[in-house]
Every structure is written in C-alpha cells, then in structure tokens.
Amino acid sequence: MIYAKNLSISYDKKNVVSNFTMNINEGEIVSIIGPNGSGKSTVLKVISRLMKSSNGAAFLDGSDVHSLPTKEVAKKLAILCQHNHSPSDCTVRDLISYGRVPHKQWYEFNNYDDNSIVDWAIEVTGLNEFEHRYVTTLSGGERQRAWVAMALAQKTKVLILDEPTTYLDVSHQLEVMELLKKINEEYKITIIMVLHDLNQASKYSDRMYVINKGKLVMEGRPSEVITKKMLRDVYKIDAHISVEQVSGKPLFYPLGLIKNNDRIEKSNKIVKIREAQ
Ligand SMILES: Nc1ncnc2c1ncn2[C@@H]1O[C@H](COP(=O)(O)OP(=O)(O)O)[C@@H](O)[C@H]1O
Ligand SMILES: [Mg+2]
C-alpha cells in the first residue's frame, strides 16, 4: 500500500536520510521510532508528498506519490504533522470541516454527508462541547484531538501521524492511541506514526521501523525490535525489558545511560588520574 524505496533526502544539499526503505501493508499499524533529529518527520513528509526525495521514490497503491495530483493523494492519505497552526478565527468545527476539502470541488459547500462525517469525527474524538470554540483557545491536548478529528474527517485509507501524543497527559495519550486502534480495527485504516514513547509504540504497533542518523537500523515486530541491544546502540541506554502479560508485547524500563558514554569515560579517567596521584 505504501512503499518507500531507497529514499535519500536532503535539506539544502545536506543529506539527512540515506537509502531508507519501508513497506507498509494495508490495515497495519506501523510506528517509526528513533532519537531526535534522526529523520523520522522527514521520511513522513516524503511519503505524504510534502517534500521530494533526492533519490529513490515513495509509492502509494503502486503509483509514485509525486506523479499523483495533491487532491488524489489527500483522498487516500491524511497527515497530522508535529506542529500544526490554525487561523485565529477558526472554530473546531471549521477545522474538522477542512478535512472534507479534498472530496469537494472549490465551488461546493459541505453537504449532508460531509456534515455527518464531521459530526462523526467530533463524536469519536469527544469534542462535542468544544465544536464552536476557537481552536486557538483550546489546551494542547484538546487542540491535538481537534487535528486528529480533522484527519479522520478526511476519510482516507491511510492516516500518518507525527508524534500524535506528545503534548497530551497520560489519559489523553491513551485516549488517542485507543481511538487510533479502534479506527484501524473498525474501518481498516492503515496507520503510520512516529512515536517517542517506546512502550506505547510496542503496545499499539504491528511492526516498527527504527531509524538512527538517517539510516534504517532495524524493522520488525515489537518483540524483535525492543531489545537491550537496540536500546544500547540507538538510544545509548541500559534497560530492563519485560513482557506485558495481556498483550505479550515487550515493556522497557530505562536503567540509565550506558557506561561507555564518552562524557562518563572522560570523567572516570580524571578520577583515576586523581586517585593515582
Ligand atoms: N526544514 C529543515 N531545514 C534544514 N534541516 C532540517 C529541516 N527539517 C529538519 N532538518 C534536519 O534534518 C534532520 C532530521 O530532522 P527530522 O526529520 O525533523 O528528525 P526527527 O523527526 O527524527 O526528530 C535533523 O538534523 C534536522 O535538523
Ligand atoms: Mg520529528
């Protein structure tokens, strides 16, 4: 359904992603994880046609996304970026209604069906009491739900989300993740997301891709990916890994930064020199 083939991506000729390949099947929940600045958002931008790669290509249902008109891509794929801004005079309902734009001609207003879809998106994201509020007056968590609702109203087969839970408290994080799981199960929407919380990624993903310094490090089921070795190599931490009993998925608990961290090594050397004196 989505195939990113040998992507190399640059900003102003500076290469930030090299030879990245990813293949997503219909109906999967896949997360991309990796440290800050490793290229996760950049990959999402290319597969959703917001940016071109310098090498390789991204395919949506077999077609190169850059060969498709914007509107065609927007009918199949919705993306919720990391930093979203809405105009100050935009209500929650207005924002969610924008999700219907790819399905309309410029001269058409939302009809009964569009309004029903907007009502549905408001309902599933629990935004009923906020629908007439300006988006700019909402708290971070409420605002995030409004953006998720807009992506839902787009009614696409694929939903791409960049850190959808980052600004939310833990119960709202769960609410969003459960909502994504529900729409994946009930409407067979394929979900690709960047998540920072590795336990959340483990709990909700069928598969995970790990990217570090612009390169694909590994790919697999959570039990294959969430390993002590990966956490040491990619995140430079020692961790304890257990298995969550209900889901059988791995759970990690960070123990600390790994000992061969350069800074710690240097300070150990200084201590040894002092001891020797
Ligand atoms: N608009 C931009 N212009 C120049 N460099 C950028 C831009 N956006 C991101 N980068 C750089 O590209 C690299 C990958 O960034 P990004 O994809 O945002 O990482 P992640 O989402 O994994 O934190 C980083 O080094 C970042 O500084
Ligand atoms: Mg990012």
- Token pair, residue 72, equals 């065609």
- Cβ of 45 closer than 6 Å to ligand 1, yes or no, is no
Q: For 8-34, what is each residue's pLDDT tens digit?
A: 999 999 999 999 999 999 999 999 999
231 and 207 share one domain: no
Nearest to 39, CA basis, from 209, 213, 192: 213
Residue 148 is predicted with a pLDDT of 86
Residue type, 146: A
212 and 256 share one domain: no
Q: Tell me how many domains the chain contains.
A: 2
Q: Is residue 166 part of a domain?
A: yes
- Cβ of 250 closer than 6 Å to ligand 1, yes or no, is no
Task: Return all residues near 128 (Cβ < 8 A) that are at least 6 apart.
Answer: 122
CA separation (Å) from 23 to 1, 156, 207, 221?
A: 8, 18, 11, 14
Per the structure, the complete domain to which residue 159 belongs is given by 2-88+149-226
- Cβ of 164 closer than 6 Å to ligand 1, yes or no, is no
Check which CATH number belongs to the domain holding 50 and give it.
3.40.50.300
Q: What's the 39 CA to ligand 1 centre distance in angstroms?
A: 6
177 and 256 share one domain: no
Contact call for residues 161 and 167 (beta carbons, < 8 A)? no
Contact call for residues 250 and 241 (beta carbons, < 8 A)? yes
169 and 270 share one domain: no
Q: Is residue 138 part of a domain?
A: no
Q: Buried b / exposed e across 198-208, counting CB within 10 Å, b at 16+?
A: bbbbbbbbebb
How many Cβ atoms from other residues are within 10 Å of residue 257's Cβ? 13
16 and 56 share one domain: yes
* pLDDT by 10s per residue, the chain, length 277: 999 999 999 999 999 999 999 999 999 999 999 999 999 999 999 999 999 999 999 999 999 999 999 989 999 999 998 777 878 889 999 999 999 988 888 788 888 899 999 999 999 888 999 999 999 999 877 888 898 899 999 999 999 999 998 878 888 888 889 889 988 998 899 999 999 999 999 999 999 999 999 999 999 999 999 999 999 999 999 999 999 988 899 999 999 998 765 555 565 566 666 666 6
CA 209, 210, 216, 220 torsion: positive or negative?
A: negative
Q: What's the 38 CA to ligand 1 centre distance in angstroms?
A: 7
CA separation (Å) from 231 to 34, 135, 220, 222?
A: 10, 38, 15, 13
6 and 83 share one domain: yes
Q: What's the 72 CA to ligand 2 centre distance in angstroms?
A: 25
217 and 258 share one domain: no
Round to whole Å and give the CA distance between 126 and 123: 5
209 and 262 share one domain: no
Round to whole Å and give the CA distance between 15 and 59: 21
Residue 154 is predicted with a pLDDT of 92
Q: Is residue 125 part of a domain?
A: no
Nearest-atom number in ligand 1 for the CA of 43 is 17
Quickly tell me which residue has 């924002």 as its tokens: 95
Residue 277 is predicted with a pLDDT of 67
65 and 155 share one domain: yes
Domain final residue pick, 226, 241, 259 = 226
Q: Torsion angle of alpha carbons 227, 229, 232, 238, nearest 10°?
A: 60
Q: For 35-59, what is each residue's pLDDT tens digit?
A: 999 999 999 999 999 999 999 999 9
Residue 265 is predicted with a pLDDT of 57
Say if pTM beats, i.e. exceeds, 0.85: yes
